[in-house]
Amino acid sequence: MSEKLQKILANYGLGSRREMERWIEQGRVSVDGKVATLGDRADASAQIRVDGNVITGLAKEKSCRVLMYNKPEGELCSRSDPEGRATVFDRLPVIRPGRWIAVGRLDINTSGLLLFTNDGELANRLMHPKHEVEREYAVRVFGDVNTAHLKALKSGVELEDGMAKFTTISARPSDDESLNHWFNVTLSEGRNREVRRLWESQGLQVSRLIRVRYGELELKKRLPQGAWIELGLDDINALRKMVKLAPETESKVVDKMNQLDHARLSRMRRSVKKHRLIKSRGHKPRR
């Protein structure tokens, strides 16, 4: 059965459907020797080229894979940076065929849970507002937070790109004398800097922001910052179920591989430390 060309390329892991549409419009994609146009379809037997390079492995069944990454502050959610700054892709394992796709973004000053997948359809659905996948953040707010602020943030605030609100807000225990207060907040969309902008609309400043949950997946408490772990079949299918995708039946990960025991945590921390040292010296890290 044939599918739209941009969907095939996105599922292969080359980028989002929108990005693939741009590539097609730019004449970078061909099917069976003919330059493709937007709207073209192809099947598994077609020879698809991008920039003259054959895309191999399209006809093979590809297992859905998902990584959970604990993003530290200071890393960019981009594949590369002209200034040489660290990115969230620097330490991810090499994958063939395809590539890792980030499920959403966290800004440079935000840390916590970031998901990557090789399945373009899963990534697109998890990010699409219509599926209303809930995100939860731990947020430290500087300033005097009162009941009126919390009521406004839950009922809705007009931002420059439309109405926004938190689904839930819960206060965390804190020192009454401190000007910093911790809250856990949830929302069901991922607009740029939305959590920060909501608090700023009340004249309050976010001094720390950590994503702790995406859908039903919580950030593993022992996962070091800058480290990743590949998720097993149960977690992958929990994500797929949320966005109405058929379940996977196979996984490259067995239960024992997913355990964060002392030995594995030590290896992770050493690897992260080594990577940061190499990056600080201006060398390209080896994978």
Q: DSSP per residue over 214-272, as a string?
A: ETTEEPPTTPPTT-EEE--HHHHHHHHHHTT-PPPS--S--GGGG---HHHHHHHHHHH
Whole-angstrom distance, CA of residue 194 vs CA of residue 130:
17
Contact predicate 218/146, CB 8 Å: no
The answer to whether residues 150 and 251 touch, using CB atoms and an 8 Å cutoff, is no
Amino acid, res. 203: G
- Residues in a beta bridge with 34: 31
Confidence (pLDDT) at 23: 94
Residue 173, preceding bond cis, omega within 30 degrees? no
pLDDT band at 286 (very low <50, low <70, confident <90, very high): very low
Measure the CA–CA gap between 181 and 264, rounded to whole angstroms: 34
Identical fold, 66-129+217-280 and 134-214: yes
Which superfamily does 3-54 belong to? Answer: RNA-binding S4 domain (3.10.290.10)
Q: Single out the catalytic residue among 107, 144, 161, 234.
A: 107
pTM exceeds 0.75 for this model: yes
**Residue 235 a catalytic site member:** no
CATH, range 66-129+217-280: 3.30.2350.10
- pLDDT band at residue 198, thresholds of 50, 70 and 90? very high
- Give per-residue pLDDT as tens, 84-134: 889 999 989 888 777 899 999 999 999 999 999 988 889 989 998 889 999
- Residue 22, pLDDT above cutoff 90: yes
Secondary structure letter of residue 72 according to DSSP: P
Average pLDDT of the chain, as a whole number: 87
pLDDT confidence band for 215 (50 / 70 / 90)? very high
Fold of 134-214: Pseudouridine synthase (3.30.2350)
The domain limits of the chain are 3-54, 66-129+217-280, 134-214
Nearest-5° Cα angle at 226, 14 to 220: 95
